Structure 1
Amino acid sequence: MLAISCKKDNESNNLTPTLQIPIVSTFELGDITQTAATCGGDVTSQGTSAVTVRGVCWSMLQNPTTSDSHSNDGSGTGSFTSKLTGLIPNTSYYVRAYATNSEGTAYGSMVSFSTLESGTIPSISTDSVTNVAETTALCGGNITSDGGAEIIESGVCWDTLTNPTVYNAKTIDGTSIGSFLSYINGLLDSTQYFVRAYATNSCGTGYGSTMSFTTLAAKPPTIDFISEPGFVSNDITLAPGSVIKIGVIASSNGSSSNKLVRFRIVRIFNNVPVTQADSAFTSNTFNFQFTTSAQSVIGSELWLFTITDTAGKSSEISLIITTGKAGLIGKSINNFQVKQMKYE
């Protein structure tokens, strides 16, 4: 006996789909105060149905759910920001992002944070700026109240823009109530700065009033002739064929970080300048010695010696060499010979 059974195609393919809840991640906490904080999350998949509500939930116990305190931050997929309010100061909390669809509620990973201590930010005043130099100055402040919480850090902060903060250049000068002195360094010369004192506790950072000052112009490098025996260091009159020795010594400005970078000698005869030496280097001091002789010269020559530092500031000295006897017009002191060049 043969039995044959028939079944409609749509009945054979009647499979029940798998139901899925959303996928959501939790952001890190930010903007934490005594009673509030900011968090959020990102719904990367809605699951098998649309996300109808999303947000974060929090509790003083681990693994909070929507039965605990929670926010409602819209619907659908994507990132969102949540505000946690009504918190207790100096208390630890646990937070998870959540997303709900018709199949259920999904939670992101759990993060924790602590609210700030109750109190206020410190009260502080800014002292006057004194002892202003090319790259340094003195300032300070006076912490009159810690705001009810321990001082974590204090000092002064500065910038070339008004109202500097602790995210700009700053000093760190202690954790006690009262006055403190701050040494400001690393400044640029001939520059206006704004400075104010600060003090930080667990509630935040308090600032004093803003003061302004302008650093002094950096002094140029120094240069002079070597005046030891055997060296010419002043204007001189020579007989033709005379041999002389000239030496120059230079140094950078000790109150700044600028270094010497260039030395030049220019000889001017009959209003025509001729470069005799042009040296590039980097040092704090420089010593240059040479000899030259007069060969049937008539008239005078002007010798210019110039030293330049990294700030582009230059100093110059000069020497006039004159022949005292008529000779062949147009000849000049041209036997230039470097004897020593030294820098450190």
Structure 2
Amino acid sequence: MKRNISLIYIALASLFFVGCAEDPRMPGNLIGAKEPVVTTEKVEGIKATEVTVFGKVDKENGTQVTERGFVWYKEETPEEKQTQAVTDGTNESFSFKITSLEDSTKYIVQAYAKNSINYGYGSTLSFTTIEGLASVITLEALDVKSTSIEIGGEITDKGEGEILERGVYYAKASLTEAGTEKDSLASTMDTDSYTCTITELEALTTYYVQAYVKNKFGTSVGKEIEVKTTDGLPVVGNLTIDHVTTTYAEFSAEVTNPGDTDVTLRGFCYGLSRNLEIGAAGTDTILCDAGVGLFTGRISNVEQQRPYYVKAFVSNADTLVYSSEVVSFTLLSEKPTVVTATPIVGDGTVTLGGSVAAPGIKEEGQPATIVEAGIVWSTNENPTIDDDVRIDLWGTSTSFTTYITDFLPGTTYHVRAFALNSEGYLSYGDNETFTTVEIFATLPTGYFSGEIQVPNSGAYLTLAERRVGYLVGGDKNSYGDQTNQFWKFDMNRDSEYYLTWQENTSHLPAKRSMMAIASNKDGIHVWGGFNTHRQPTSDHYFNVFIKNNWILAEDVSPTPMYGSFACYLIDMIMIGGVQRTASGDSIVADVWKQRVIQTPRWVQEADFPEAQYSGYAFAVGDYIYAGLGLTSIGMNPDFSNRLWSTRKAVNDSEVFNWEEQEPMPGDYAAKAGVAIGSSIYMIDSEGYIRIFDTIAKTWSTANSRVPETHRDIHCVFSDGKRMYIGFGSNRTTICYDPAWDR
């Protein structure tokens, strides 16, 4: 019995100790009490400035919890902790809404509890507040005018808090580029979708626009779009011919855009020319009502067999605008309606033609058939098929063209197209005139005002690929006074100086005459010649085109001389000339070459077959042609009509092998020359034009002679087709066209 009582006491004591250790609410601290055990449970409701956090006291650990709450801080500044005790909730679970946070920021939070022993902390949780900014997209422009744009945006997310402002930014430069100065326009609307009307803009100008929205967190912008203002003008188009009869034609057009203001007037204008303009001679009008959309008109007071042109027009308060389309019609007729094409005068040919605008109609109203068509021409107005030259050209097409070479130069002709239909009706187009090219035409813009007066004393050359000619130096008079002027003759049709002389501001550094001249395509080189003391020199000057300044080269000509002639073909080639010695002037047959793209040095070749000066050298294809110079010195020097050729020398080891060609015909000295294509054109002292065909290796003589007024020749140039001869006793330049010399 005593043993059982002892066991009961032991059991009761055990229960007492266990119960005291787990009961936090018993007064006093138990032996072995610790800080509470806490769990940071979760984070919910994350917003831009607030979040709700949850914690739990898992164990009080032997003494009562007197405080519980949360500690939080920014991840980047852990030393700046904030603490909040919590009284709400059950003894175990508790929560708290943290406010006044910063948006788009990462925070660390942990729950805590305190008892008389110490603080207990739960594990840390992290969260990032969301962006508080609103979101907006830029909408497409609703209405674009010359000085205004209606455009806006749509708020897709308001963010947190109240929307303070919505509107658009705009500028002439991209808003995404740093430093762009921009304007803003706030909308008066308070809806998610809003518009603004930007005013006081410039017409036909591109603007860059972004929608924006503001709240307490800042400003958000949408994607940038480009909008170009209009010209403010109305647009008319879709011009069509709807119906044509023997007495009238009906049309329609459409105003597709009224522009910035209401359309006040619209209609059609018509006439016999495509160049239609209200109020101009030959233009009639049909007025229609105001408004937009489709409008129609009828034209009835016109003639048959004549093609008429029509275009639409529209007007608003700003201006009058025409349609880009121009349509044509011809009233139905029994006779064909024929159009004569504008003649085109070419190189020795004239392009003529015409077209059948309508074949005529049969009695039953069906189209007739064209059985004959072509052109007739004469030197008299309104040629006919009975009396004048006729060419039949009718085929499968309603238009026809031919190229004719039978016309005389410098003559005015009249031409008409004609057509005959299956009903026997013959019609003609309008009378067109053209004048063929003169063989020798004085250029109204070709007057030369330079100092040079003595023929063949200046150095000249043609650069056909540039379509320019150059003239350098020369004698001002027979006393030996010289010039250093540098002139250019422009043969480029695209130039504002076409067929005019222009003095270059870069003059030759020294006054010279009787120089040799050549070009290696990069610039012009001149050698030797007389100086102001009438002494031969060995100077070498060159002018590079891109710099346009003359430079005295370090190298010099092999020997002081004048009257040498030169050309360029891989090397600069200089031939002949006159050297001065103690015993007097002597004509030489020296041939020198210089490769200017390498270290400049002169290499002497074998002598030219004949000693000459003031001769001619031309590079044609792979060959050099030279000769036709003077062979004695004096007032009436002897001359040579002999011409030689040699193939180009590719390297220094190759030598020139001069082959004599057929001599130039006639008994007169060559006065000037130029290469045109594969032929060499020479003019002699009596004005005969001798032509050497380098392929056939034969000479021929042109039908016409240079006029006496221009036989004192200073220079000859070519644009690759024609020859320009300057400048005779009257200081003018004439154009010789070989294609019309027949």
Question: What TM-score range do you get, normalising by the shorter chain?
Answer: 0.3 to 0.5
Look at both structures and tell me which one has the larger radius of gyration over its CA atoms.
2
**Which structure's relative contact order is higher, taking Cα pairs within 8 Å and 6+ residues apart?**
1
